[in-house]
A and B are shown apart, each in its own frame.
Chain A
Amino acid sequence: MTATMETIAPAGTWQLDPVHSTVAFEVDYLAGTFKGDFRDIAATLAVEGDTARLEGVAKVASVDVKDENLAAHLQSPDFFDAERHPELRFAAENVALDGDSVTIRGEITIKGVTKPAAIAGTVAPPMTDPYGKERIGLKVATTVDRTDFGVSWNAPLPSGDPALSNDVTIVGDLHFVKA
């Protein structure tokens, strides 16, 4: 699809800088918000003319939370089922820019289930880093209903309400470097 107003970045292939990027999730749990992220991530932003394609992947086995037992539970069939579905994926060819705002419509795959998703946020314009590499940054987010993807674990509170929200916000702070 065409970036209708302007291109997201100069033409070329942009690779994710995984060290300085974050793909995280946030979900309401009990009285607060529980957060975690995936350490092993990769993405490519391919820009050609006025079209752009974004593809990204996060390895379920690299889920990073502050308790090893919780990490083990998240990888089990009860949650992401890393054995059968080792990756979370996002792919999009519809990148719409409006000033520094961006909306990227594509498909997200979680636990083997693929659904349409729109991620939205802001773009930092291209800059040159101290090593002469061109960089751009995207801060984007989308909210999904995890039960649509078969990630349905929950536990009832004494009140009868569920402990864990179905709505999960996936947050990407993505730094791309031009290849």
Chain B
Amino acid sequence: MRILGISGSLRRDSYNAGLVRTAARLAPGEVELWDGLKGIPAYDEDDERNPAPAVVELRSALAGADGVLFATPEYNSSVPGHLKNALDWASRPLATNPLRNKPVAVVGASTGVFGAVWAQAELRKVLAAIGARVLEDELAVGQAATRFDEQGLLADNELRERLAGVVESVIDAVDERVAVAA
């Protein structure tokens, strides 16, 4: 089982990267953080025949994953531009893109009280349009500045349990996909 964890925040001490790293602690050996977003150039159809190495790496990482856990912050009530841009690259061509039918879950953290709920909703919409199997599980970590320990991991036990539940849902959906294919 290999679940790719992608944080929509590039900041070194990102709370959303902290959510992914916490998920990796909760499901050892099954969740791994992929941090190549920053190197991905703006989407340009002219570059599709010869995409940048960072795009090739993203597609390869997605293709090699059984499922994906996205943790997104919220910029101006929506998905960070660089995360949407990376998904636009990953989605081409739509009929054979590596996210197609792949179980994905979306969580998010923000320093405000809402926990990036609008960005999460928009990210789910984008992922569904790409053809991913978007799970209904939700986790909105509001007031993030008070929710993480000094190592940057989620400290609140209830939130940790809910995050573990989200990861479990991805694992279950991957198992179901394997069973359908068998």
| A residues lining the B interface (CB < 8 Å) | 68-69, 71-73, 75-78, 81, 83-84, 153
Q: Decide if A76 touches B177 in the complex (CB within 8 Å).
A: no
**Cross-interface CB contact of A83 among B94, B95, B101, B129, cutoff 8 Å:** B101
Q: Decide if B180 touches A76 in the complex (CB within 8 Å).
A: no
Interface string of B63-102 (1 = CB under 8 A from A): 0000000000000000000000000000001110000110
Complex CA distance for A71 and B96, rounded to whole angstroms = 12
Complex CA distance for A84 and B177, rounded to whole angstroms = 8
Please provide the chain B residues from 84 to 136 with a CB less than 8 Å away from any CB of chain A in the complex. Answer: 93-95, 100-101, 128-134
B180: which A residues are within 8 A, CB to CB? 83-84
A81: which B residues are within 8 A, CB to CB? 133
A83: which B residues are within 8 A, CB to CB? 101, 133, 177, 180
B93: which A residues are within 8 A, CB to CB? 68
Number of A-B contacts (CB under 8 A): 36
A71: which B residues are within 8 A, CB to CB? 95
Q: Decide if A73 touches B129 in the complex (CB within 8 Å).
A: yes
- Closest Cβ of chain A to B59, distance in Å, is 16
Given contacts A83-B101, A83-B177, A84-B180, are A78 and B129 in contact (CB under 8 A)? yes
A75: which B residues are within 8 A, CB to CB? 131
Complex CA distance for A76 and B126, rounded to whole angstroms = 13
A73: which B residues are within 8 A, CB to CB? 94, 129, 131
Greatest chain B CB density within 10 A among A69, A71, A77, A81 is at A77
Given contacts A72-B131, A83-B177, A84-B180, are A77 and B94 in contact (CB under 8 A)? no
- Closest Cβ of chain B to A80, distance in Å, is 11
A84: which B residues are within 8 A, CB to CB? 180
Q: Decide if B129 touches A77 in the complex (CB within 8 Å).
A: no
Q: Decide if B95 touches A77 in the complex (CB within 8 Å).
A: no
Given contacts A83-B101, A83-B180, are A69 and B128 in contact (CB under 8 A)? no
Complex CA distance for A76 and B130, rounded to whole angstroms = 8
Given contacts A72-B100, A84-B180, are A78 and B128 in contact (CB under 8 A)? yes
B130: which A residues are within 8 A, CB to CB? 76
Q: Decide if B95 touches A69 in the complex (CB within 8 Å).
A: yes
- The chain B residue sitting closest to A74, CB to CB, is B131
A69: which B residues are within 8 A, CB to CB? 94-95
Greatest chain A CB density within 10 A among B131, B133, B134 is at B131
